[in-house]
Amino acid sequence: MTDDGTTTVLVVDDDPQVVRALRICLNAHGYRVLTASDGAAALRAADQGPDVVVLDLGLPDLDGVDVITGLRRVTTAPIVVLSARLDSADKVRALDAGADDYVTKPFGVDEFLARLRAAVRRSTRRPAEVAEPPVRAASFTVDLTAKKIHRDGVEVHLTPTEWGLLEALVRAGGEVLSPQRLLTQVWGPTYASATHYLRVYLVQLRRKLEPDPAHPRHLLTEPGRGYRFQP
Amino acid sequence: MTDDGTTTVLVVDDDPQVVRALRICLNAHGYRVLTASDGAAALRAADQGPDVVVLDLGLPDLDGVDVITGLRRVTTAPIVVLSARLDSADKVRALDAGADDYVTKPFGVDEFLARLRAAVRRSTRRPAEVAEPPVRAASFTVDLTAKKIHRDGVEVHLTPTEWGLLEALVRAGGEVLSPQRLLTQVWGPTYASATHYLRVYLVQLRRKLEPDPAHPRHLLTEPGRGYRFQP
DNA sequence: CCGGACCTTTACGCGGTCTTGACGGCCGCC
DNA sequence: GGCGGCCGTCAAGACCGCGTAAAGGTCCGG
């Protein structure tokens, strides 16, 4: 949302008629509108930080699901999918890929606007209700919602698995987590006895986060019981 | 929560698609999942003691509010309501009936998981607060929940086996425990006759905890009957 | 097709912990 | 007084958990 409170909508559709109609309609209701006519342009436009994306499936250049996953890498803005298809399989695929709502054409303007409002409301309300403040340790900070680590002011890159492990430890808030618990949570129940992974990844994390990896101050091992995060 | 720390979620929804998606998603995040497709089944499944219930309103057999009140009679586990309705009146009624949170469909997976964690966290914090107070002896204190020993203000390190033995003795609260009893409890039923272990570890414990290990005042042996903890 | 990021797996050294055996004192019993 | 069972003590060796490095292996994007 821009600082004056205006909500920006990115409309992605290859039919100029539809784009024009939506632009007029949305402008009339006080939205700022960006447009893109194909998937590539949509991904570029997403850099401008829209608050919500209206996406037509069936673009000329890219598959719909690919566009969604591509957008998800760039932005967390809600995605409302437009589609002529009634098939519920498409719907599930789109939602699984990261879409937030799905409207089948033809649709009523009122319903469309209501869903748009709902999508925006959900996304802007979320940080207020479930936002968790960054957790601070002496040598680094962990931002659980932004999924970012900072150390001495610079961002530290973690691989997905490393992040999963750190997240589990941090969320436990200082409690000791048994190896079984950590493994099922990070690798899945199948790996409940693969204690070796833990050692390997604990080393990685300590190397990236601890000032002195050999004598950890925050990622501690409780011999015989598991691991613990010390804030 | 099961003994390995896994959290069990009861998912109640009449749409098999949704149930399936949630099951996969929750399993992937280390939860154990139970399911029910209508209100009656939900009430039955609640007997298995889930740690949290995810409840879709709009079930075929019972009204949503009735399901919530019914569940509340059986379990104190937090209830997270799913609903397609945006109406805030429904939300208020559900929350008033005993639900803990309310998520409107469609919802983001991250948000859902965050709310689930929040609900579980709220409900499991309580036992942590009712933690049993440390047991005091003249020369040391035992904190059974933190698994820590202090002597003259400094923490004493115990090995897992030492801790297991001490814990068994302390929890008996002054009663005499037979060697068989102690051995099966600490080492397992296979070791019920390995009385030698007891002697070895009693020595260790006394050396670490007693002011005069040769004349113990708290870890006493009752000749011919077993051992006893004297607070 | 290549290179890189990431995950998985193997190997090894170290230190703490457990197990085991030996020994000596204490006590009741033969 | 000798003897055997029970208990305490010590120390050596086996064993296991943990940390660490590094070699495959897989997948994806250029």
A66 CB burial (10 A radius; 0-12, 13-18, 19+): middle
Instruction: State whether A184 and B107 contact (CB < 8 Å).
Output: no
**Residue A112: which of A197, A29, A224 has the closest Cα?**
A29
B160 CB below 7 A from strand C atoms:
yes
The whole-number Å distance from B146's CA to D8's C1' is 31
Scored b (16 or more CB within 10 A) or e, A99-111 reads: bbbbbeeeeeeee
Cβ separation of B107 and A95 shorter than 8 Å?
no
CATH number of the structural domain A8-123: 3.40.50.2300
B173-207: burial string, b at 16+ Cβ within 10 Å, e else: eeeebebebbbebbbeeebbeeeebbeebbebbbe
Count contacts between A and B (CB, < 8 Å): 51
- Please state which of the ranges A31-40, A114-123, A148-157, B154-163 shows the lowest mean pLDDT: A114-123
Secondary structure class of B132 (helix, strand, coil): coil
CB atoms inside a 10 Å sphere around CB A80: 21
Confidence of residue A226 (pLDDT cuts 50, 70, 90): very high
d(CA A205, CA A163): 9
Q: Which residues of B touch A130 (CB under 8 A)?
A: 111, 114-115, 118
Q: What is the mean pLDDT of residues B97-126?
A: 77
Protein-proximal positions, strand D, CB < 7 A: 6-11, 17-22
Every domain range in chain A assigned CATH 1.10.10.10: 135-229
Question: For the residues B103-109, what does the mean pLDDT come to?
Answer: 76
* Whole-number average pLDDT of chain B: 86
Preferred mutation among B25, B86, B105, B120 to probe A, highest tally of A CBs within 10 A: B86
Start and end residues for every CATH 3.40.50.2300 domain found in chain A: 8-123
Task: Measure, in angstroms, how far nucleotide C29 C1' is from residue B30 CA.
Answer: 63
pLDDT in tens, A41-51: 888 888 888 89
Whether the pLDDT of residue A13 is over 50: the answer is: yes
For residue A102, the distance in angstroms to the closest alpha carbon of chain B comes to: 9
Cα gap A51→B157, rounded to integer Å: 54
Higher pLDDT pick, B41 / A107:
B41
* Cβ of A223 near strand C (distance < 7 A): yes
Please provide the DSSP assignment of B2-19 as one string.
Answer: -TTSPPEEEEE-S-HHHH
CATH number of B135-229: 1.10.10.10
Q: Which CB contacts under 8 angstroms, 24+ apart, belong to A154-161?
A: A156/A208, A156/A209, A158/A205, A158/A208, A159/A204, A161/A186, A161/A187, A161/A201
